[in-house]
Amino acid sequence: MSEEKNNKKGEKPKKEDEKSGTFNRRDILKGLATIPVFGPFFYALFRKKWLDDQRRKEILAELGIRGETPAVLPKAAVKRRGELIRLGIIGFGGRGEALAHAAGFAHPDWIESKKKDARENRLDKGLETFLNQEDLNVVLTGVCDVFDVRAERGIAVSKNDVRPGGGSGLLKGANRYRHYQELLESKDVDAVIIAAPDHWHAQMTIDAVNAGKHVYCEKCMTRTIDETYKMTEAVKNSGVVFQLGHQGRQQETYVKAKQIVEKNILGKITLVEVTTNRNSPNGAWVYDIHEEGNPQTIDWEQFEGPATHKVPFNLERFFRWRCWFDYGTGLSGDLLSHEYDAINQILELGIPKSAVASGGIYFFQDGRDVPDVFQAVLEYPERDLTLVYSATLANGNSRGKVFMGHDATMEVGYSLSVTADWESTRYKDKIMNKIINTSLPLFTYSPGLKEIDTVTSATERYFMTRGLMYTMRGGRPVNTAHLHIQDWLDCIRNGGQPSCNIDRGFEEAITCHMATLSYLEGRKVVWDPVNKKIV
Amino acid sequence: MVTKTKKKSENVSDYTTTQLTALVILRVVIGWHFLYEGIVKVLNPYWSSAGFLLEAKGIFKGLATSIVANPGALSFVDFVNKWGLILIGLGLIAGCLTRVASISGMVILFLYYAFHPSFIGYTYTTPVEGSYLIVDKNLIELFGLFVLTLFPTGKIIGLDRLIFTKKRPS
């Protein structure tokens, strides 16, 4: 056939091929004509890979990091969870319920709404994440809230058996205590989670310590400077395990950031910038006022408690208490506290030498007395370093935590990136030799990744910094507050100090209060480390 | 006999040498691109199509979301994508099963385009190296393969010449 066709096309096969009965030489040559292309292809491929590997090796050697450096959380040996711990929750508002989730208890309505969310958006893993949480072997035995609706919600949460390790049907549920003192006196409670407003934190913690209950207290640790001393003394003189609610302590990127700073990859760090940007009423603490909230359902007297400035019953103040200095300290205690604690975790800064703060009520002029735009400059002359906090509640621009060193800049958020400084002394030669490119990160790191990454394309790097590539597969997302409560429970059962103990809490509270005081008094506030007093 | 004479030979074309050269070069460069795209994905242990799929727009958005939400489906898609790219690349360069390779390449490129169409009003946060209005490089490469499907060269210059040509009788 083909021979015939060939003849028709006028291409006569050579005689020797006709005799041998195999492909003719032309067939072989033409059949294999493009195979040599693989030569330059694989040469180029291996050359590129070799160069990338060399570059990566040189960078890693320069940084003193081995490629396989894991960034696992520094978790101690496997902890015993044999002993059941009975928890009481004081304050069952938004945060109280979130902490109940973290401990492994959710409201049936929440479960239903999450099921619906998962049906509508298959990427919504809220319920799955919750149900995959480790069973901490705890029960909720006591709930106290001054608002009936929330207290009842707490009871429902404590009884719901749809939970990690649940299904036994044996949950008896919590008792409701009208007053937190009654909860503390109960023999059914071993440890308490305090999620009441800030102005109650110190008194409740001191009373809990006196009652011999372990304490997990929400931030800001206290509302005033005086309370900070009293609370710290009470906890330190007791045997209770105290954890302050900065769940960022469990954030994997912060652990990695600390390792990077310790390896001096950034050079001398002189400026650290941390920020808060929010742009919604909810972000500015204008929370919904519950329709059932009234003087009959809310124990206003107990709500006010230690607040020195008493006012008549007021729904706004009850539901949106963060807007008033009577109950909290606004941006300082709510959000600077988180940012500060993250930096304190990474750099172990302690209390600043001085603080200067300013700001104003520029957007949410709704009767509040705390600022919605707030900046604080904290000086650490002994560390040759300034920590700047910059916040607005009326703009959503995302700004990470930025560590500025002479040799490199590190940005920390959900992921972490380090970029060499173009005028770095240390990396000068490598920048000149094009091994380090200062317009791209020197390396990036995302949680769940075993090693840091030095050589990737712009696209890959982009997805990594957004954390899209490594969170959706295999690895399950874990709630940091869950890990933080677990850390606290582990110490209750097995001894030791939780990651955000009373000393870290003291530093957090004093730092925030220095900033608040500076704002309120319009002056530079100085810390006297010898007498441990704010001057 | 008339039909026989009109039927084109399997390994001898009506192309001029220049035409044939141009077509083979087109086939080889597209193959090169496919092969390298596949190999970089295989070499990077952290590569995943999740980021691309999460950014999907248009009619396949729902499907893309379902794939990402299901780790099994995602690893299947990742596997098929990277090894598919490699096989298509090898096929196009070597001219081996060229027709299958060209059509598979068109399918894969169509999927890329369908998941990320450069339609007016669609913006992506994925960095792109050019500016596109409806037509993007995936679409151009797709039509490049379409041309190669209609003007095949594998049986003239390529392993297909050896695979599909019957041995000459002794």
DSSP string of B40-101, one letter each residue: HHHH-TT--SHHHHHT--GGGHHHHHHHHH-HHHHHHHHHHHHHHHHHHHHHHHHTSSHHHH
The sign of the dihedral angle between the CA atoms of B156, B157, B161, B167 is positive
At residue A480, the pLDDT reads: 83
Listed in sequence order, the residues at least 6 apart from A282 whose beta carbon sits closer than 8 Å to its beta carbon are: none
Q: Residue A69 burial by CB count (10 A; 0-12/13-18/19+): exposed, middle or buried?
A: middle
- Joined together, the tokens standing for residue A46 give 């291996």
pLDDT tens readout for residues B24-68: 999 999 999 999 999 999 988 778 888 788 888 888 888 888 888
Q: Which of A204-213, A407-416, B74-83 has the lowest mean pLDDT?
A: A407-416
- The C-alpha of A499 sits at a distance from chain B's nearest C-alpha, in angstroms, of 31
Residue of B nearest to A23 (CA): B167
Q: With contact defined as beta carbons under 8 Å apart, do B154 and B139 qualify?
A: no
Listed in sequence order, the residues at least 6 apart from A52 whose beta carbon sits closer than 8 Å to its beta carbon are: A455
Consecutive H or E run containing A271: strand A269-277
Q: What is the mean pLDDT of chain A?
A: 87
Mean per-residue pLDDT, A335-339:
95
Q: Does position A26 have pLDDT exceeding 80, yes or no?
A: yes
- Domains of chain A plus CATH, in order, are 85-249 (3.40.50.720), 251-305+318-481+516-534 (3.30.360.10)
Q: Does position A384 have pLDDT exceeding 70, yes or no?
A: yes
- The C-alpha of B120 sits at a distance from chain A's nearest C-alpha, in angstroms, of 22
Alpha helices in A415-457 (DSSP H): 428-432
Residue of A nearest to B37 (CA): A45
User: Between residues A188 and B53, which one has the greater pLDDT?
Assistant: A188
Q: With contact defined as beta carbons under 8 Å apart, do A500 and A249 qualify?
A: yes
Q: What is the pTM of this model?
A: 0.83
Mean per-residue pLDDT, A133-147:
94
Mean per-residue pLDDT, A443-460:
57
* CB contact B170 to A (< 8 Å): yes
Alpha carbon distances (Å) from A429 to A53, A424, A436: 19, 10, 9
The pLDDT > 70 percentage for chain B reads 87
At residue A454, the pLDDT reads: 53
Q: With contact defined as beta carbons under 8 Å apart, do A81 and A129 qualify?
A: no
Alpha carbon distances (Å) from A220 to A103, A308, A331, A341, A489: 20, 18, 10, 10, 21
At residue B85, the pLDDT reads: 97
**ipTM of the complex, rounded to two decimals:** 0.87
- Joined together, the tokens standing for residue A458 give 């712009």
pLDDT tens readout for residues A347-376: 999 999 999 999 999 999 999 999 999 999
Partner residue facing B9 (CB), from A6, A34, A121: A6
Q: Which of A140, A151, A148, A154 is nearest to A192 (CA)?
A: A140
Q: Does position A120 have pLDDT exceeding 60, yes or no?
A: yes
Residue of B nearest to A2 (CA): B9
Residues of chain A neighbouring B167 (CB-CB closer than 8 A) = 21-23
Residues of chain B neighbouring A9 (CB-CB closer than 8 A) = 9, 12
**Does the beta-carbon distance from A37 to B54 stay under 8 Å?**
no
The reply to whether omega before A220 is within 30° of 0 (cis) is yes
Bridge partners of A174, per DSSP, are none
**Does the beta-carbon distance from A8 to B5 stay under 8 Å?**
yes
Residues A107 and B48: their CA atoms lie apart, in Å, by 36
At residue A440, the pLDDT reads: 85
The sign of the dihedral angle between the CA atoms of A149, A151, A154, A156 is negative
**Does the beta-carbon distance from B158 to A34 stay under 8 Å?**
yes
Partner residue facing A21 (CB), from B24, B74, B170: B170
* CB contact A129 to B (< 8 Å): no
Q: Does position A433 have pLDDT exceeding 60, yes or no?
A: yes
Partner residue facing A27 (CB), from B35, B40, B162: B162
**Does the beta-carbon distance from B157 to A38 stay under 8 Å?**
no
Q: How many CA atoms lie within 13 A of A469 on its CB side?
A: 22
Q: Does position B6 have pLDDT exceeding 80, yes or no?
A: no
Q: Which of A27, A33, A10 is nearest to B168 (CA)?
A: A27
Residues A70 and A52: their CA atoms lie apart, in Å, by 21
* CB contact A34 to B (< 8 Å): yes
**Does the beta-carbon distance from B157 to A34 stay under 8 Å?**
yes
Q: With contact defined as beta carbons under 8 Å apart, do B43 and A49 qualify?
A: yes
Q: Which of B36, B100, B49, B116 is nearest to B79 (CA)?
A: B49
At residue A468, the pLDDT reads: 32
- The C-alpha of A19 sits at a distance from chain B's nearest C-alpha, in angstroms, of 6
User: Between residues A81 and A151, which one has the greater pLDDT?
Assistant: A151
At residue A474, the pLDDT reads: 33
Partner residue facing B12 (CB), from A5, A20, A470: A5
- The C-alpha of B42 sits at a distance from chain A's nearest C-alpha, in angstroms, of 13
| Residue A515 backbone dihedrals phi, psi, to 5 degrees | -65, -45
**Does the beta-carbon distance from B127 to A458 stay under 8 Å?**
yes
Mean per-residue pLDDT, A128-134:
85
**Does the beta-carbon distance from B24 to A33 stay under 8 Å?**
yes
Q: Which of B22, B19, B39, B47 is nearest to A38 (CA)?
A: B39
Structure confidence at residue A511 as a pLDDT band (50, 70, 90): very high
- CA R_g for chain B: 19
Q: Any idea how long chain B is?
A: 170
At residue A11, the pLDDT reads: 45
At residue A477, the pLDDT reads: 67
Residues A454 and A56: their CA atoms lie apart, in Å, by 6
How many CB pairs lie under 8 A apart between chains A and B?
A: 133
The pLDDT > 90 percentage for chain A reads 68
The pLDDT > 70 percentage for chain A reads 87
* CB contact B22 to A (< 8 Å): no
Q: Mutate which of B156, B161, B163, B165 to test chain A, going by most A C-beta atoms within 10 A?
A: B161
**Does the beta-carbon distance from A45 to B47 stay under 8 Å?**
no
Concatenated DSSP letters for A190-256? Answer: SEEEE-S-HHHHHHHHHHHHHTT-EEEEPSSS-SSHHHHHHHHHHHHTS---EEES-GGGG-HHHHH
* CB contact A122 to B (< 8 Å): yes
Q: What is the mean pLDDT of chain B?
A: 87
Question: How would you write A140-190 as a 3-class SS string?
Answer: EEEEECCEHHHHHHHHHHHHCCCCCCCCCCCCCCCEECCCHHHHHHCCCCC
